[in-house]
Structure 1
């Protein structure tokens, strides 16, 4: 399977976003993109035509005015139909710089600790007014970045916050419910250390040192603030990386398990099945079937 990690080149590094309008006539190329992923959250707004998007668990046919969101580092691909015209806006944004003190009660959910933001796509099909409001925000962000009027950085920041607020206030499934307040100075070095060391043995003693806490206090603090133990958080990150590698790397399952720091294959299989409701082999085969469709 062709796949890759897509580099996102920000138009403004301070804003950590890229927003662009794409137009396909259907004549220059057609078919599926390879599976790909990126750290940034992706929002899509279709302006003309029909745009087809796929994730490992769902397929979307987006018509004019339709919006969808793809979570951080989630595999996805699009399809361009031959002879079909389509125009759409794509916003890539790293949310981390927007986690200021006003956001910290909600950081756990926007960081996708438990579930990818893909789960919020129910909002756009259930509530047309949410889709319309988010679509308008995406248009405003695109206009501000394209024209770069004085103060556009402030405007874009406000629109990003508005976008998150719309999702938060309309989420009646409470996927984005408030949790414990989390200090960003505590969170950022811990998250970065875990992300950069998933292939290694992660010692909580080292992480607690980075957080400036004792081992015991860190363990209790993390679980209280994040809603899950530090060990479970690391395991979820390892399995998410393993899922991407099953698609992006032509390696054996044993090699992939080792690459995400899990030498015990029985434990790896148990965790993978718990989080994905299938074995690694079944996941890989399912992705191959999706690739052929």
Structure 2
């Protein structure tokens, strides 16, 4: 099986999400492919098949499907049959905020491949209908891009995760499994309070009374990302806020978010946003200006 890594292109620096509509009679769109982003498919009309290494999913109008990070899959349609469907691909970490931390690890696949959640749609028509409606609303918000659509998309992504959690009658997402949020909250608070300073694994270990090795393993299993990646994520989020709210140079911002090496700061920022901090700021301010003047983006 030859695998193709599908490139995911984000057109909005603040929204790490790609939303596309397909109206096609092509038998196969990509061949076997994968990508690190989560994927959600919603079929509006017609029928199609999604093949994974373990299962074949037969989708028709009103059906939805979830594919986890880097999960190989193949999309097939019948010859000469048009299918209308929506594909959403996004980075879960981009929608991370503090009130999601107790549940984030459930969707990181350290405990359960997300593709296993598709049985919830099969067994619960109410969930399938609500989830489908949420995906279609996401696509509509992204297409129309009315004022505040970024907030709507952020909300709807979180709503889709909430629906899975709320309607999990099979216990697949048992939030009591292995999650000691109260203990890790000490670490989260430590990171937030020291984003301008040096943050060490050793200090985090002292806060929770874990050994160095056990802490790193526990943190990765719990949140689905390494402690280092989490700290970088929070520093870049802080940098985003400073870029848009403070009149500071890039060097000053890098210093304030604890990344005084400017080339290293640029490298990490580009890794997240695929653009420079200045390009990020310019794009956001330009869009804000167009919104104020009632122009379409």
- TM-score (norm: length of structure 1): 0.64
2:129 to 121, 125, 132: 132
**Matched positions, count:** 206
CA contact (8 A) 2:205 2:215 kept: no
1:116 to 113, 116, 128: 113
Question: Residue 3 of structure 1 aligns with which residue?
Answer: 3
Unaligned runs of 5+ in 2: 192-199, 225-297
Could you say if the C-alpha distance between residues 100 and 218 of structure 1 is closer, same or farther in structure 2, counting changes exceeding 3 Å? farther
Question: Residue 217 of structure 1 aligns with which residue?
Answer: 211
2:166 to 166, 169, 176: 169
Distance in 2 of aligned mates of 1:107 and 1:211: 23
1:4-26 C-alpha deviation (Å, 9 max, x unpaired) = 111100132311101111011x3
- TM-score (norm: length of structure 2): 0.63
1:224-278 C-alpha deviation (Å, 9 max, x unpaired) = 55668x9xxxxxxxxxxxxxxxxxxxxxxxxxxxxxxxxxxxxxxxxxxxxxxxx
Greater RCO between the two (CA within 8 Å, min separation 6)?
1
CA contact (8 A) 1:104 1:183 kept: no
For 1:1-293, list aligned pairs within 5 A: 1-24=1-24, 26=25, 29-31=26-28, 33-178=30-175, 179-181=179-181, 182=184, 209=201, 213=205, 217-222=211-216
Could you say if the C-alpha distance between residues 41 and 23 of structure 1 is closer, same or farther in structure 2, counting changes exceeding 3 Å? same
Worse overlay, 31-40 or 140-149? 31-40
Question: Residue 239 of structure 1 aligns with which residue?
Answer: none
Could you say if the C-alpha distance between residues 93 and 31 of structure 1 is closer, same or farther in structure 2, counting changes exceeding 3 Å? closer
Deviation at 1:177, TM superposition (A): 1.9
- SS of residue in 2 equivalent to 1:104: helix
Alignment RMSD: 2.7
Distance in 2 of aligned mates of 1:211 and 1:43: 39
